[in-house]
Amino acid sequence: MTREAESRETRVVDAKFVAGAVDAQSLPPPTVVEIAFAGRSNVGKSSLLNAMMQRLALARTSRTPGCTRQINIFEVRCADGLTLRFVDLPGYGWARRSKTERSEWQGMIEGYLQGRAGLRAVVVLLDVRRGVEDEEKQLVEFLAGPRHVSGPARLEVVLVATKVDKLGAASRKPALDKVGRSAKEVGGKVIGFSAVTGEGREELWARIRAVV
Ligand code: GTP
Ligand code: MG
């Protein structure tokens, strides 16, 4: 694929917020293919979405973990007409929250992931400096488990290592190699990404387009 073809395909001509809800039942009907973005609080899900959608602040971001508190759906249309929904999920693993709140949280996210018709793939984000930890392994295992809706038997999982711009030139390759090795154990290749420089954006778009 030429560079021009790539940028035409991934140029976003329209992006808008569609709906937000704290339970999957309150979401609009799943009439458009959805790709969800999951990972720890503060890993950079909302920032990555803004970079993917070429919008500076459509999804709210914050330096404080726990910023996204509901399931937020955005709809994007590319220059070649492809339309899909990006779903920004609240982060998990945020300790400063009561036990009840955390289990409600988990119920909301798991309910959406297992029960949402129209969901095709889940992009699992991890911080390049932390790599694949237990939480990410558990999430990938969960995604490989049974679903409560008809549709494709298995959700596609795409692993993304975020904030690669935070690493200097010397530590970057070893860190990405290390993340790559641990990603292999959970079954996939990892894409390095930076919401600051836009690195990895085209590659992630290509993976998503291959899925839909
Ligand atoms: P929750 O909604 O709390 O789950 O967090 P989130 O995963 O949506 O993270 P968010 O996008 O709000 O980003 C958290 C912080 O990390 C913000 O201060 C962002 O500016 C910063 N950040 C996100 N992505 C990057 C990146 O690629 N590079 C750098 N340097 N900072 C980033
Ligand atoms: Mg967020």
CB 164 within 8 A of CB 193: yes
Contacts of 81 (CB under 8 A, 6+ apart): none
Q: Check residue 1 and give its pLDDT.
A: 44
The pocket around ligand 1, CB under 6 angstroms, is made up of 41-47, 61-63, 65-68, 90-91, 162-163, 165-166, 194-196
Q: Print burial letters for 67-82: b (CB count within 10 Å at least 16), e (below 16).
A: bbebbbbbbbebeeee
Report the length, in residues, of the chain. Answer: 212
Say whether domain 3-211 belongs to CATH 3.40.50.720: no
Query: Which pLDDT tens digit goes with each residue over 119-164?
Result: 999 999 999 999 999 889 989 999 998 888 877 778 999 999 999 9
CB 52 within 8 A of CB 204: yes
- Indicate the domain borders of the chain: 3-211
pLDDT over 80 at 95, yes or no: no
How far is Cα 191 from Cα 205, in angstroms, rounded to an integer? 11
- Ligand 1 midpoint to CA 148 (Å): 31
pLDDT over 80 at 56, yes or no: yes
Query: Which pLDDT tens digit goes with each residue over 151-205?
Result: 777 899 999 999 999 999 899 999 999 999 988 888 778 999 999 999 999 999 9
pTM of the model as a whole: 0.93
